[in-house]
Every structure is written in C-alpha cells, then in structure tokens.
Structure 1
Amino acid sequence: MPDSDRSVPSSVWRDHDFRRLWAGQTASQLGEHASLVVLPLFAVLTLRAGAGQLGALRAVGQAPILLLSLFAGAWVDRWRTRTVMVLADAGRALALGAAAVAGLLGGLGLPALLVVAFAVGALSVFFDVAYQASLVRLVERDQLVPGNSALEGSRSAAQTGGPALGGALVSVLSAPIAAASGALFFALSFLSIRRIGRRESLPDRPERPARVWRRIHEGLRFVDGDTLLRTVCLASAAFQFFFAAAMTLYLLFLPRDLHLSGTAVGLALAATGPGALLGSLLAARLPGRFGHGAVLVSAAALGDGVFLCVPALHGTPAVTVPALLAVGFVFGAAGQLVNVTVMAVRQTVAPDGMQGRVAATINFVGMGVTPLGSLLGGFLAEVWGTRTSLLVTAAGMLLSPALMALSPLARLGRTLPGPREAVVTSA
C-alpha cells in the first residue's frame, strides 16, 4: 500500500485487499451466525431434543475453543493468515454441505448434528484467530481502530441477517436448506479472501524455531505477565461461562415458555445486529472521549444488566417480541462496544509476533469455558426450570464488569499503552 494511503485512517477503505478481507469476513460471519441458529433450532423443533441434549449439542460445538485455540494461535503466528482463513472456509462449507445432503436423504439426526457442530466449531477457531491477527499484518497500527470498526461492523450485519435467515429457513423451508445456506456463505468467503494479493509481512522467525508447546507457553506467559490482558481473560471467562448457560436456556425459553416460532426466535436473536452496528460506530468515538476504561466498565454493566429483563417477560408474542427486540438491541450495542475496545487494547499491547498467540490465549481462557456453561444451562433447566435458571445465569454475567471495575483496566485513559516486549525462546 502506498504511504500516502497509510497517512489517513479512513484510507483503510481504499485498499482493495482490506475490502476483500472485509467482504470475506462478512460472508463468513453470516454463515457462522446462521448455522448457530439452524443447528439448535433443528434439534429443538424437529428432533424434539431435550434441555440436556441441546446443552450437549452447544457444548460439542464450543469444545474446539478449549481444545484447539492455543494450537491455532501458535500456528497462525508462523503461517499466513490468508491461507488459514481460506482452508477454514473451505472446510466449513464442506461440513455444512454434507449436513444438507444428509438431511435431504433423511439421515440428519442428533449424532450427525454433533459431528457437524464439532467440525464447524473447530474450523471456526482457526478462522477467528487468523482474522484477528490478519489486520495487524495488513494495515498500520494507526489504522487498527477504523479497521476493527469496519470488521466488527460487518460482524454486526451478520448478527442481524444470520439468525433471522437461519430461523426463517428452518421454519419456512427445512433444516437441510438452512444448512446449505451456511455452506454457500462460507464458499463466498473462501472466494473473496482467496483474492487477497498482498503478501503478508510475517514476524521474524528464529533460525531454530521453538516447538509448538514452547510457543504456546510463550503466549500464555505473555498474557499472564500483563495485567491488562490477564484481566481481559478473567472478565471474558466470567462473561462467556454465564452467557453460554443463559443462551442455552434462552433457546429453550423462547419457543417453550413464550411459545415463539422459529422465525420469531431468529428475529429476537437478530436484534443484537443493529445494536452491534451502533456499538461499532460508538467504539470509534467514545473511548477517545471518555477513556477506554470507563467505556469498558459502563458498557459491560449496561449490556449484561439488560439481560435480566428477559426472565420477567410474560404474555403473547405481540408483547414479548418487541421487548426481546429492545433487549437484544441494547445488549448488542453495549457488547459490541466492549468487543471493539477490548480488541484495540489487545492489539495495541501485543507485539506483532505475538498477536496470534495472544488472541488464541484470550479465546482459550475466555471462550474455553463455554462448553461447561452450556452444559450447566441444560442441567439447571431440568432442575429449576428455564425461567428461574435464566434469571440466575443472567445475574452471573454481571461478574464480568465487576472484575473489570476492580482492575487497572478500568483506569485506562484516552490513549493506550504501546506494545510490551515479549521474550521469545528459540528452541
């Protein structure tokens, strides 16, 4: 990219390769969010899966985060992110395509759903770590904020269209066709990212590269040694654990307790998308005006707190659906504001050669607990019922902003600290 393009942050949009990354990531996220609704709704509405079975399905899809995140980070730091993303897209397209064929042939039962959920989840781990590291290699650091806002904005659009599309296709057509739509979006992402022509500036490699376990240990030690990143890990783990439990209950509560159709469930989930789009826009302005720490704590408290309104809902869809849309919008806006701000903190603090491992470590610690949370949600639903359990798990989500408020993360000002030096082992 010419230096003149790099001088103005908005010039990130002038770069053809960035636009290809943005388009591919948008399609990929749309396919991922559609499949996250298609598979659970197919299990609940078609296979009549119970609470425990739904919890197990969600846990299997989330298990790769715990099993593979650290390996993905070590791999991404040594390979081109474009290659990793292209292979992940191809694999997910094939997995959902196979699910569509199996469904059309009448063989898409719960065991097949478990296999597909695990495969898509595993490949999503590699794609997510790679795309988080790709921006740092594609643009200058002064373009990270507009670049992240653009990428997170596309994720917001996917959160709007994906759940609505998935829910509508399951209700109106069939689960196999819904699965095929996810495969199509992954194929589009493959084609777009494959067209990125610029060769990435890979971090310098030592003459004798460290073994994968040593590189993983370096990433873990780096995150643990930085107070800000360590707090991000703990707060993320607290949120993701209770959110996974709450979402398992949410997917049971809406169709069973509130008697909503698959389309209505999809619309309720899609409400986070417009809110997230607003959050992406606010993230480009609010931290620089009020300070990164104040924005993080207040947005997390607002987004997590509003979810407490859901268990109180009663009545007909004419009453409950608008309320769910409002909750989803606020939750999406606040959550996206937190996501973009946290990503800016992470990318600023970590040096280039540690970006993949830092992203993977945070995913491992934060998202790695989601299978346990999903299982907990299914268990609590059977013991306490969905409404009471949803209230308890929603309250548990507030532990995340509490941890941030009590840490140095809350004291971050309008500017962020520079990269911290990493100690890299050569063997």
Structure 2
Amino acid sequence: MPSAPPPVRLWHDRDFRKLWAGQTASQVGEHAGRVVLPLVAVVALDAGADQVGVLRAVEQAPILLFSLLAGVWVDRWRTRTVMVLADVGRAALLAAITLSAVLGLLGMPLLLVAAFAIGVFTVFFDVAYHASLVRLVRRDQLMQANSALESSRSAAQIGGPALGGALVSLLSASTAALASAALFAVSALSLRGIRRREPVPGHGEHPTRIRREIVDGLRFVAGSPSLRAVGLASAAYQFCFAALMTVYLLFLVRTLELPGAVVGLVLAAMGPGAVLGSLLSAGLPRRFGYGVVLVSSAALADVALMCVPAVRGSGLAPVLLLMGINVVFGACSQVVNIITAVVRQAVTPVRMQGRVVATINFVGMGLMPFGSLCGGYLGEHWGLRPSLLVAAVGLALSPLVLALSPLARLGRSLPVAPEPGQGVPGPGGRNR
C-alpha cells in the first residue's frame, strides 16, 4: 500500500502565504490609521484630550456592540469572504475622509461617523482572521503559524505608526489616510487569491438562531478555566491600556513637544520588540512552561510602561528612552499574545473558533471605549503625567489575574480541545 504524501510545510503552502501577506498589509493599514485618525483630530481639527478620548471610544465601541454577532457570522461564513469585505469597507471610508477634507467638509462629526464604521469592519476582520488559521493549518503548525502572523503584526507596529506619522508631517493628516486605504485594498486582493475551499462548520439541517449561538459561545468561554482567565485578564488590560494610549499620544505631542514623524517612530519601537517576542515565544514555553512564561512576560510588560510618566526633557535622550521602553513592552506583550492565542485555539473546537474569539474580544476589548473615555477625562482634569501613571499601575491587574488562574500552572504541552459531547477542557487537557 503506497504511503501518504508528506504534509505540506507551512511556508510552502501558497494559501497560507496569501493569508500572511493579506493580514500583514491589513495590519499595517490599521496601525497607520490608529495614528492618523487621532492626529487628524489633533492637528487638523485642534481637538483636546476629551475629544480625542471620544474619538478613540467611538472607534472602539463596535467591539462591544458587534463582537458577539461577528463571531456567529464567522462561524457560518467563509473567513476569506468576511476579511475581504472588511478590507474593502475600510479602504472606502479612509478615502472618504481625504475627499471630505479636500472639499472642506471634514469636521469632528464626520470623523466620528467614519471612525465608528471603520471600527465595525475591524471587528469582523479580526474575528475572521483569528478563526481562519485553525481552518487553514494543521494543529501541529499552530504555534509556527501564530508566530508568523504575530511577526507580521509586529512589522505593522513598526511600519504603520512610522508611515502614518511621516505622512502626516510630509503631507497632511487627512491626506495620510489614503496610505491606510491603499494598504487595505492590497490586503483584499491578496486574500482573494486564497484558492483552498474553506470548510465551513455545519449547523445541521435547521440552523440554530443567532441568539442561541451567541449564548453557546458565552457558556463555552465561561465554562473553561483557561478561556475564562484569558477573558478576565484581557478585560483588565484593555481597559487600562486604552486609557493609557489616549493620554500617551497627547503626552508625546504636547508635553514632550515631539513632531508627528518622531511620534510615529516612538510608537513604532514596539514593533522590533514584538519581533523579538515572536522569536522568544517559539522556544521559551518549551523550556520553562507556558504558564511561567505567560505570567512573567505580562508582569514585565506592565513594569516597562510604568516608566513612561517619569520621562522628561527634550531632544534625543527622552526619545531613545521611550523607544527602549516600547521595545521591552512590545517583546513581552507579543509573548503574551501568542501564548494566549495558541491556548485559545488548542482548547476550542473548530466549529466554535469564531464565537470564542468574539466572546473574548467582547469581554476584554469591549471595555476599550470606556477606557478611552476614562483616559480622556483623566488627561483633561488630572494632567497627562498623573493620568499615565494611574493607567500604568492599573495594568498590573492583568498579570495578577493570570497568576491566580489555572493558566499559571500550564506546563510544556498544550491542552486539548474537547471532542463533540465532551466537557470543557482544563489547563492540563483533561475534561472538567
């Protein structure tokens, strides 16, 4: 009997390369937009801290409003279709911002509407691309595939803010939005090139109602000790990080008086750190165990950000110090992102990947709008340095949650997803 052909290696898989390229372009566009849109408000519309907080909250509000619905749709549709439509929608909206500025129609109300719509498309893209990986690669390739995608996100963190900040300085904030629009268009074209017919999990002869599927996803996450801890830690982190980043941008521009290009360079420094984190995540868990690496990386990332409020002065020294802080933060955060993503994918059946991603996004990232509003309020009434310190100290809640959870006891092997009809797996792969 002839032997089966050897499995295709990850980077020899044309469809995975298409996914990787499309996701990379989309992430660069997204990270550039995260710098460009607030700078449009600050530079072109002279917005204050409270208005920047509202803008960020409006852009993040769809996470809370649409994540659970996006999870159901992704579990019913092909992820490639969802990602392409999301990219096309974001490209059109960013182009509309530039057009409205040229026509003299751009103002805060229009910018808020565009930011909200961009946020909706981003929610659907993020849920779809996380779910697509499990449908596209084998289980033994998950760690390598996640590292590759997170490395591309790291490249986006390098290129996106730097590109956005440089274009704002060289052209204008509103014109810089076209760069993100072009990148989303490139992403859509790449993702359309995926040839493999993606298996969509079935829902039986009579599909269940959307509400029932949403409840199933919530129950699955709530019933898994590992997923529940990821969700709670994410909630603490995302709330405080949203507050911090709202103030951070104003701190760089107005307190340290850095130009747009340098602001982009400082924020982009998280990217090289994230690349380093992607490399470390491939070997550290196998040597020390997933739990130890996860908790220690989360704690070190938060300690790094606590140093930001102490930065003073002008010139090259504070810029280099901020870049060093962001490199450490980027590396440790990347390790946390990859480990939690791999654990989530490992303990979740394929048919529920979309809903589990969406539920965790809803629980964690859904708090980002409130964090942004809180950061804007603190920055306006308490001052930028005290607000940065409060937000940075609050971030310590995330590693504390992880340290008290079953995730801290994870060893060198991953847990296993339950088969249909089985219970929810614990951190060691056994059913509860």
Q: Render the CA deviation track for 1:12-52: whole Å, top value 9, x for unaligned.
A: 10000100000000000000000000000111122110111
| Residue pair 2:40, 2:174 contacting (<8 A) in 1 also | no
Gaps of 5+ in 1: none
> Which one-letter code corresponds to 1:150 in the other structure?
A
1:6 corresponds in structure 2 to 7
Q: Distance in 1 between matches of 2:281 and 2:224?
A: 23
2:94 corresponds in structure 1 to 96
Q: Distance in 1 between matches of 2:6 and 2:157?
A: 31
| Residue pair 1:103, 1:175 contacting (<8 A) in 2 also | no
Q: Distance in 1 between matches of 2:378 and 2:110?
A: 26
| Residue pair 1:5, 1:12 contacting (<8 A) in 2 also | no
Q: Distance in 2 between matches of 1:5 and 1:286?
A: 28
In the TM superposition, what is the alpha-carbon distance from 1:416 to its structure 2 partner? 1.2
1:134 corresponds in structure 2 to 132
Q: What SS does the corresponding residue of 1:77 show, helix, strand or coil? A: helix
Gaps of 5+ in 2: 423-432
> Which one-letter code corresponds to 2:384 in the other structure?
T
* Residues 221/111 of structure 1: CA separation in 2 closer, same or farther (3 Å cut): same
1:342 corresponds in structure 2 to 340
> Which one-letter code corresponds to 1:87 in the other structure?
L
1:418 corresponds in structure 2 to 416
> Which one-letter code corresponds to 1:228 in the other structure?
S
- 1:12-411 aligned within 5 A: 12-411=10-409
* Residues 205/393 of structure 1: CA separation in 2 closer, same or farther (3 Å cut): same
* Residues 328/146 of structure 1: CA separation in 2 closer, same or farther (3 Å cut): same
| Residue pair 1:311, 1:387 contacting (<8 A) in 2 also | yes
Q: Distance in 2 between matches of 1:317 and 1:105?
A: 38
Calculate the aligned-residue CA RMSD, in Å.
1.3
Q: Distance in 2 between matches of 1:321 and 1:244?
A: 22
| Residue pair 1:6, 1:12 contacting (<8 A) in 2 also | no
| Residue pair 1:61, 1:114 contacting (<8 A) in 2 also | yes
| Residue pair 1:297, 1:410 contacting (<8 A) in 2 also | yes
In the TM superposition, what is the alpha-carbon distance from 1:177 to its structure 2 partner? 2.1
In the TM superposition, what is the alpha-carbon distance from 1:230 to its structure 2 partner? 0.2
TM-score between the two structures when normalised by the length of structure 2: 0.95
> Which one-letter code corresponds to 1:164 in the other structure?
A
Q: Percent identity?
A: 63
In the TM superposition, what is the alpha-carbon distance from 1:420 to its structure 2 partner? 2.5
Q: Distance in 2 between matches of 1:422 and 1:23?
A: 34
Q: Render the CA deviation track for 1:138-170: whole Å, top value 9, x for unaligned.
A: 111111111111111111000000000001111
| Residue pair 1:304, 1:394 contacting (<8 A) in 2 also | yes
In the TM superposition, what is the alpha-carbon distance from 1:367 to its structure 2 partner? 0.1
| Residue pair 2:43, 2:173 contacting (<8 A) in 1 also | no
Q: Render the CA deviation track for 1:336-384: whole Å, top value 9, x for unaligned.
A: 1100000000000000001000000000001000000000001111221
Q: Render the CA deviation track for 1:80-137: whole Å, top value 9, x for unaligned.
A: 0011001111111111111111112222221121111111111010000000000100
